[in-house]
């Protein structure tokens, strides 16, 4: 029984319950120390280590340590520690309790060796994370609660799809091991839909932009780290080399660009950036080569850090100003210089500037596409790189810190816990960019990739230079989208606005049709007897037409009656 305490996820579960019940200082200390203990535990578990148990005729394996699961579990534990340090500034029980349980569920998911354990942790991430969506520093309103319910509903649907796929897989194979599945396997399509919904595939992505920006400053940092990366891990484990993931990843990487440039809420802008980064990982998984899988895993590792840093910076702005609307910000570099610096580090990382983490990882995926002669995918990823540079690398720090000041209210620098968390995260972003080999050594296939080559450096610097010039020129000549309040329509408009409107019109038309049929039925009941008798008169009794017309009349009467019952 004691050996189960070796599971880092269970350590976080226990710590979350204790930290939520404890006081401010004790609870905060537990919340920060628990992920660090989890890191120490994970590092000391040998490759291939596992814990199994019997469940009826099947064997479940809640803990399986291999190279793919290890790298995801490690970054989840690091993110949990950093986000809990950041959350000390807000000091709320929900952030400590639900935050640690959420992180533990994600860690348990990537270390699960069977589909049953994966399903349990998959659903637990939904239940814990919705508490973070509802836990806002602003008073929740009806729209806030409804967004949380939409988020929870879609996450539960993802779990149900996973359960359907798991049942089909287990009945067909006779075991519950989580291994490569493939689209043609029993339950393969159900698995892909489950993973795709949680990964925010195109047309399945709106829950992220709807829910994440509604959480508190610390809650959004936590939300950005775990849910979608758990799905990336599941895709890498179950669908490596699936060709359809190539175009899905390309669409994910490129489609959010336009919407992100129009959006006014900077945290929502960053969710589009997060969605785009997911596209790079999905495309890498679709390529399926060892370099591509390593690139997707490394990019997931780096993405957790630089997205957390960007959400920390905008969260600090929210904490001090009460808003992240670009139209209400600007000029904060004077009053929040350290936050500005950390935001720039995050922006350089997501833009893949040399010597920052994004460059060391994103180029692995782009190179893998080139090596496999996927020219269209290579071009799509380059286009997406320019888009990410424009909206997350340039627009976000410019709108918050360097544009014209729109308020004269005094603003203080972020609280010290937020600054410490941002400093540590920024340090990791730089360390991975300057010394990527330690991260490469952790990857599933240990690809020998050389990132600091002349062609990589020159091509990336050219892309960054011309992209930055385009942004500056757009600002100077007034072509850049103006920051103003408004609603940016996404594909969720189809099912949140258009579909209900169409349904209401259809119901109205159906009610009108029923009223018309009712009037026809009443007329037929009044006059039908005379017609029926005449159709069977002795003069025409032997005629085929009279029998046919009588039968037709009877069918009409029965049909009208049936429609009235519907």
Regarding whether 270 and 227 lie in a shared domain, the answer is: no
What is the predicted pLDDT for the residue at 436?
A: 95
Structure tokens at 184: 């043609």
3-state secondary structure of 87: helix
What is the predicted pLDDT for the residue at 536?
A: 47
Regarding whether 318 and 181 lie in a shared domain, the answer is: no
Q: What is the DSSP letter of 55?
A: E
Regarding whether 526 and 466 lie in a shared domain, the answer is: no
Collect all residues with Cβ–Cβ distance below 8 Å to 419 and sequence separation of at least 6. Answer: 338, 339, 342, 413
- Alpha carbon separation from 190 to 180, 396, 515 (Å, rounded): 14, 37, 42
Residue at 318 is within a domain: yes
Structure tokens at 154: 């879609």
Residue at 2 is within a domain: yes
List the Cα angle 79/81/84 in 5-degree steps: 105
List the Cα angle 497/499/500 in 5-degree steps: 70
Write out 419-467 in H/E/C secondary structure. Answer: HHHHHHHHHHHHHHHHCCHHHHHHCCCCCCCCCCCHHHHHHHHHHHHHH
3-state secondary structure of 374: coil
Structure tokens at 477: 């000549």
Tell which residue, 236, 352, 253, has the closest CA to residue 287: 236
Residue where a domain terminates, one of 471, 486, 501: 486
Structure tokens at 366: 């782009």
What is the predicted pLDDT for the residue at 493?
A: 56
Q: What is the DSSP letter of 356?
A: S
Structure tokens at 319: 């904490």
Residue 334 dihedral angles phi and psi, to the nearest 5°: -75, -40
Residue at 60 is within a domain: yes
Regarding whether 217 and 261 lie in a shared domain, the answer is: no
Regarding whether 131 and 222 lie in a shared domain, the answer is: yes
Residue at 188 is within a domain: yes
Regarding whether 519 and 474 lie in a shared domain, the answer is: no
Regarding whether 221 and 258 lie in a shared domain, the answer is: no
Residue at 504 is within a domain: no
Task: Note whether 233 and 174 are within 8 A (CB).
Answer: no
Residue at 495 is within a domain: no
> Domain range holding 275?
240-486
Structure tokens at 1: 């029984």
Residue at 369 is within a domain: yes
Neighbours of 454 (CB within 10 A): 7
Q: Give the count of domains, the chain.
A: 3
What digits encode the pLDDT tens for the residues 258-273? 888 788 899 999 999 9
Regarding whether 465 and 416 lie in a shared domain, the answer is: yes
Residue where a domain terminates, one of 486, 501, 535: 486
What is the predicted pLDDT for the residue at 482?
A: 59
Residue where a domain terminates, one of 206, 237, 268: 237
Residue at 494 is within a domain: no
Q: Which residues of the chain have pLDDT under 70?
A: 1-2, 137-141, 478-500, 503, 521, 523-566
Regarding whether 417 and 370 lie in a shared domain, the answer is: yes
Cα–Cα dist 111/61, whole Å: 9
DSSP string, 166-221: HHHHHHHHS--B-----TTSTTHHHHHHHHHHHHT-TTS-HHHHHHGGGS-HHHHH
Distance of alpha carbon 502 from the chain centroid: 28
Q: Which helix (H) or strand (E) covers residue 62, if one does?
A: strand 58-64
Regarding whether 154 and 226 lie in a shared domain, the answer is: yes
What is the predicted pLDDT for the residue at 538?
A: 46
Regarding whether 246 and 221 lie in a shared domain, the answer is: no
What is the predicted pLDDT for the residue at 234?
A: 97
Regarding whether 122 and 1 lie in a shared domain, the answer is: yes
């Amino acid at each position: 029984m004691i050996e189960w305490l070796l599971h880092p996820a269970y350590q976080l579960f226990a710590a979350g319950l204790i930290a939520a019940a404890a006081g401010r200082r004790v609870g905060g200390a537990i919340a920060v120390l628990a992920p660090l203990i989890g890191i120490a535990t994970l590092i000391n578990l040998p490759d291939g280590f596992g814990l199994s148990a019997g469940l009826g005729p099947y064997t479940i394996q809640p803990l399986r340590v291999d190279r793919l699961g290890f790298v995801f579990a490690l970054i989840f534990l690091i993110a949990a520690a950093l986000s809990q340090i950041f959350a000390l500034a807000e000091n709320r029980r929900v952030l400590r309790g639900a935050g640690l349980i959420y992180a533990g569920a994600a860690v348990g998911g990537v270390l699960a060796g069977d589909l049953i354990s994966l399903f349990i942790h998959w659903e637990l991430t939904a239940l814990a994370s919705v508490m973070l969506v509802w836990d806002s520093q602003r008073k929740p309103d009806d729209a806030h609660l409804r967004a949380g319910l939409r988020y929870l509903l879609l996450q539960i649907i993802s779990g149900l799809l996973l359960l359907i796929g798991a049942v089909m897989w287990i009945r067909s194979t006779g075991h519950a091991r989580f291994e490569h599945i493939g689209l043609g396997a029993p339950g393969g399509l159900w698995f892909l839909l489950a993973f795709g919904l949680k990964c925010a595939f195109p047309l399945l992505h709106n829950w992220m932009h709807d829910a994440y920006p509604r959480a508190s400053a610390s809650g959004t940092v936590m939300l950005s780290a775990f849910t979608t990366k758990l799905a990336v891990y599941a895709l890498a484990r179950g669908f490596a080399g699936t060709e359809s993931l190539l175009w899905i990843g390309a669409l994910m990487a490129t489609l959010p660009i336009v919407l992100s440039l129009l959006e006014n809420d900077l945290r929502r802008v960053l969710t589009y950036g997060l969605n785009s980064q997911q596209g790079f990982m999905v495309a890498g998984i679709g390529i399926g080569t060892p370099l591509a899988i390593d690139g997707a895993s490394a990019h997931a590792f780096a993405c957790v850090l630089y997205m957390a840093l960007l959400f920390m910076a905008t969260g600090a702005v929210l904490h001090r100003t009460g808003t992240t609307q670009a139209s209400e910000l600007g000029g904060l570099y004077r009053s929040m210089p350290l936050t500005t610096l950390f935001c720039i580090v995050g922006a350089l990382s997501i833009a893949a500037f040399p010597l920052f983490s994004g460059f060391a990882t994103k180029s692995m995926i782009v190179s893998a596409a080139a090596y496999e002669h996927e020219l269209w995918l290579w071009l799509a990823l380059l286009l997406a790189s320019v888009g990410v540079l424009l909206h997350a690398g340039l627009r976000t720090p410019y709108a918050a810190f360097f544009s014209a000041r729109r308020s004269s209210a005094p603003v203080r620098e972020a609280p010290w816990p937020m600054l410490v968390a941002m400093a540590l995260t920024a340090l990791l972003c730089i360390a991975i960019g300057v010394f990527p080999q330690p991260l490469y050594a952790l990857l599933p296939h240990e690809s020998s990739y050389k990132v600091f080559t002349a062609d990589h450096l020159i091509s990336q610097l050219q892309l960054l230079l011309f992209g930055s010039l385009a942004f500056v020129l757009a600002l100077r000549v007034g072509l850049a989208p103006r920051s103003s309040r408004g609603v940016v329509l996404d594909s969720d408009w189809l099912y949140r606005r258009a579909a209900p409107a169409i349904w209401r019109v259809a119901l109205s038309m159906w009610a009108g049709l029923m009223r018309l049929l009712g009037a026809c039925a009443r007329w037929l009941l009044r006059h039908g007897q005379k017609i029926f008798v005449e159709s069977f008169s002795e003069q025409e009794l032997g005629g085929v037409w009279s029998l046919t017309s009588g039968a037709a009349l009877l069918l009409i009467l029965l049909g009208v009656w049936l429609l009235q019952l519907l």
